[in-house]
Chain A
Amino acid sequence: MNQTINEIQNEVVDEFSMLGGDMESTVFYIMELGNHLPPMDERYKVKENLVKGCQSKVWLSTYFKDGKVFFLADSNTDVTKGLISMLIRIWNGRTPKEILGTDLYFIDKIGMQRVVGSQRSNGFASMIRQMKLYALGYQQQHAL
């Protein structure tokens, strides 16, 4: 992992600013991001892996390797898939400490609330919470 968490966040902010606040381009861009998410094996798409608090279906599963957290995710809607792909881009392969200590400033900077509306913003917050919970679980489990 060459880039730091904040370097990736800045990259995301730059990409969104290039869209010039145009709603349609932004929505399509978010959906496009979802296309880059590695496919999630069907066997992980189970009820237990559904993120609570999302209107759309979002499956999230993780594994822990060499002290780092890795995420797998999918969603039945393209926009939501794009949203979680941004988080995975930032947090995949990070230590629990890094994840738990992240200030996700990119969300405000790209004007997430305006782009996706309040309901999806709440869903997005649920994804963040769930990802942090996994990180916290690994941290405690491995007494890091």
Chain B
Amino acid sequence: MPTLTAVKKNKFDVLSVRAKFPALHQQVNGHPLVYFDNAATSQKPEEVIDALSHFYKNDNANIHRGIHTLAERATAEYEKTRKAVQSFIYAGEPEEIIFTSGTTGSINLVVQTYGRKFLKEDDEVIISAMEHHSNIVPWQMICEEKGAKLKVIPVTKRGELILEEYKKLLSSKTKIVSIVYVSNTLGTINPVKEIIDMAHHAGAKVLVDAAQAIIHIPINVQDLDCDFLAFSGHKVYGPSGTGVLYGKRELLEAMPPWQGGGEMIKEVTFEKTTYNELPYKFEAGTPNIADVVTMKYAIDFVEGLDREAVAAHEHHLLQKTMEGLAEIEGIRLIGTAKHKTGVASFISDRIHHFDMGMMLDARGIAIRTGHHCTEPLMNVLGIEGTNRASFAVYNTEEEVDYFLGTVREIVQKKKK
């Protein structure tokens, strides 16, 4: 007999999913909102919004050290999210899940602990040309401090990593490879499994930036065999200010703490402090309790979906958008990798992306314009920025039609 979840999972109906997202049901500048800025942040379903309010109304207390009922309840809820994340990304144990403020916080944690302890002069760190600034700058900072070198895997014009070049960069000097799973600017899905295997073969550790991947691709950290993986809650229907760092236990154990304070200690005397166990060693101070508690509801929401059906739906929207844009005069697609998800970036030969963004907003369409925090990639591609439409589960084919029609009209109008 099918379970209730199985029954639910067999029915993916975009309109009923969409109905759960209050923010989508509004007019912007006199038009129904079309929210195509999901790569920046996703909207939140009712259960997430309600959970946040419920926590503050019923369970709010500081966690872990209280003896009273509310503190117990808040702690239990907080730790439930850790277990939910563990099972969501198939981590071996909950202690391998560290809560941070977001992907940026997670990457910086690895840089400032693992990087600081293990990087030496002349060591090398490999990133790619399509990294977000948050996976470039922290490494630049530590490399400069340690006298280590930052190496960059180049990309093709279509926006795919050149693995041959990556292979050449790898050597016994390579200590860390830090790579984005899905490009926020191009939507390219990188072959991270292969990248990880190659790095391990060379004796390097790998951090995967899954900020964009988490909403589109089911992730299994044990299958990937990545050493670290970072993502943010707000990009997967959860609250902002929540982030996750997954790390293999032996690495997390070997890393020194980063921030000192309450919660992360075992014993403190003025002479010496001993540190708490994992994961608390890396969670100094009062964390973002309510939002972490709430993140579980976002994970439950995603796990309640038929992810294959969602992926097919999102892929269809992306394909339709890319094909439609390619037919419009003067529009050029940026990022046409064979494997991509969630993001359609484009430029116009006669309309600057800032103007395009504003004209679309006047029609109720939210996209992102600019360099998307990937300035080095823009330089490589020889452009200033792009228009980026990005999708989530609740977007519809009708929205894509309206968007394409509007872009077409704007281009026509501008031509006159």
Residues of A within 8 A of B (CB): 22-24, 26-28, 31, 55-56, 76-80, 116-117, 120
Contacts and interface: CB of A to CB of B under 8 A. Distances in A.
A5 to B, nearest CB: 28
A56 B354 contact: yes
B355 A77 contact: yes
Contacts of B352: 56, 76-78
A55 to B, nearest CB: 7
Given A31-B355, A78-B355, 8 more contacts: A23-B29, A23-B30, A24-B29, A27-B358, A28-B413, A78-B352, A116-B358, A117-B358
A70 B39 CA distance: 44
A26 B362 CA distance: 9
A62 to B, nearest CB: 24
A111 B198 CA distance: 57
A42 to B, nearest CB: 18
B354 A79 contact: yes
B359 interface: yes
B358 A80 contact: no
A24 B355 contact: no
B120 interface: no
Contact of A23 (B354, B362, B384): B362
B385 to A, nearest CB: 10
B354 A80 contact: yes
A79 B29 contact: no
Contacts of B351: 78
Nearest to B350: A78
Nearest to A82: B355
Interface string B338-373: 000000000000011011001101110000001000
Contacts of B30: 22-23
Nearest to A78: B355
Nearest to A119: B354
Contact of A24 (B354, B359, B370, B384): B359
Contacts of A80: 354
Nearest to B353: A77
Nearest to B352: A77
A22 B294 CA distance: 39
A27 B351 CA distance: 13
B363 to A, nearest CB: 6
Interface string B153-164: 000000000000
A74 to B, nearest CB: 12
A116 B359 CA distance: 11
Contact of B354 (A22, A26, A77): A77
10 contacts: A22-B30, A23-B30, A27-B359, A28-B413, A55-B354, A56-B352, A56-B354, A78-B355, A79-B358, A117-B358
Contacts of A79: 354-355, 358
A23 B355 CA distance: 13
Nearest to B361: A23
A77 B353 CA distance: 8
B307 to A, nearest CB: 36
Nearest to B364: A23
Interface string B27-46: 00110000000000000000
Contacts of A27: 358-359, 362
Nearest to B363: A24
B358 to A, nearest CB: 5
A79 B414 CA distance: 12
A118 to B, nearest CB: 13
A23 B30 CA distance: 8
Contacts of A120: 354
Contacts of A28: 359, 413
A23 B363 CA distance: 8
Contacts of B354: 55-56, 77, 79-80, 120
A53 B352 CA distance: 18
